[in-house]
Structure 1
Amino acid sequence: MTDLKLIALDTEDLEVISAHLQDAVIRVADMGFARRDRRFALLMNRFDWAADKPRSRGVRKRAALHFSGVTHAAFAGFDPTAPDGVVELLAITFEPGEAPSGIVELRFAGGGTVRLSVDYLEARLADLGAAWAASARPNHALD
């Protein structure tokens, strides 16, 4: 399996990263805002949709994602200080503001969100090498 390395500099790029990270599992303690560095980073166990095969449980990979140019981070719907908290990522979006600034929103199952005010859109995703058989394949009810 090839390790994934992606960069997003516009909305279309971010949509690709979001698709690869759908159903990633993140410990709340593994995400944070480094105010001085103007960076928000998180470690996760992502479900590798590209390697998924029918009737298999699939594969999870350890991955890191960070956003640059972050001026503010706001958390809602979960306790960002909960050391044992776990969230499941559903999607990442970008709402443009006065160009090139805007709001990056990370949406989690159960309604939690992280909203990042950014001076510009720059996100980098990289697999960290570790991969293992998933305990279950993500499954979503369709309305």
Structure 2
Amino acid sequence: MSDARFEDGGEGPLRLVAQDADDLRVISTLVQDAVLPVTEMKHDAKRRRFALLLNRFRWEDRSEAEAVGRAYERVRSVLVVEDVLKVQSYGFDRTDNDLVLSLLSLDFAAGPDGTGRLTLTLAGDGAVALDVEALEVRLDDVTRPYRAPSGKVPTHD
């Protein structure tokens, strides 16, 4: 069998931008249970940008996959946060190059004049906190969907 293709589902890759809390909830739902090696998290202080290369479960395709009896899918996606002033990580070792992280949610706590803190909550009590000048988060699918290796919908205990 071959991997799924965007053309098979009649849909294209996701390209979303969040600039407020409501928009961020949509992106947070779509990246829930995305996995990534710790090495695929980068902060470019000069450009004030933080980026992650994710293996995202395609929640938007779950019902369709179940309805037609085909495999669940994942897709490689880039999550980019702009205007990052400060990055802090908690509960995991950023120097452990073999570590694989699971992203659970994105939450924004607004501060004065559009500033705030974006928290990326990870499974296992880890988190990444990003102090931002303004909320701007982009999610872009960068590959074609592929069969989810586990063949299962992610679950939480």
TM-score over 0.5 (shorter chain): yes
Instruction: Confirm or deny that 1:10 pairs with 2:20.
Output: yes
Tell me the alpha carbon deviations over residues 30-63 of structure 1, each in whole angstroms, 9 at most, x when there is no partner. 0021111100001010000111133765100000
For residues 87-120 of structure 1, the C-alpha deviation after alignment (integer angstroms, 9 at most, x for no partner) is 0000000000112000000001101000000000
Matching residue of 1:81 = 95
Q: Does residue 38 of the first structure (1) align with residue 52 of the second (2)?
A: no
Superposed displacement of residue 14, structure 1: 0.5
Counterpart residue type for residue 12 of structure 1: D
Match of 1:27 among 15, 18, 37: 37
Distance in 2 (alpha carbons) for counterparts of 1:128 and 1:93: 23
What is the identity percentage for the equivalent residue pairs of Structure 1 and Structure 2?
Answer: 39
Match of 1:129, SS state, is: coil
Pick from 132, 137, 141: which aligns with 1:118? Answer: 132
Q: What secondary structure, in the 3-state scheme, does the structure 2 residue paired with 1:13 have?
A: helix
State the TM-score, normalizing by the size of structure 1.
Answer: 0.94
Equivalent-residue separation in structure 2 for 1:117 and 1:12 (angstroms)? 19
Alignment match, 1:49: 59
* Structure index of larger Rg: 2
Please show how residues 100-115 of structure 1 align to structure 2 within 5 Å: 100-115=114-129
For residue 17 of structure 1, report the CA deviation from its aligned partner. Answer: 0.4
Once superposed, what is the RMSD of the aligned Cα atoms? 1.2
How many residue pairs match? The answer is 141
For 2:74, the aligned partner's letter is: R
Cα distance, 1:130 vs structure 2? 3.0
Match for 1:48: what amino acid? R
Aligned residue type for 1:40: F
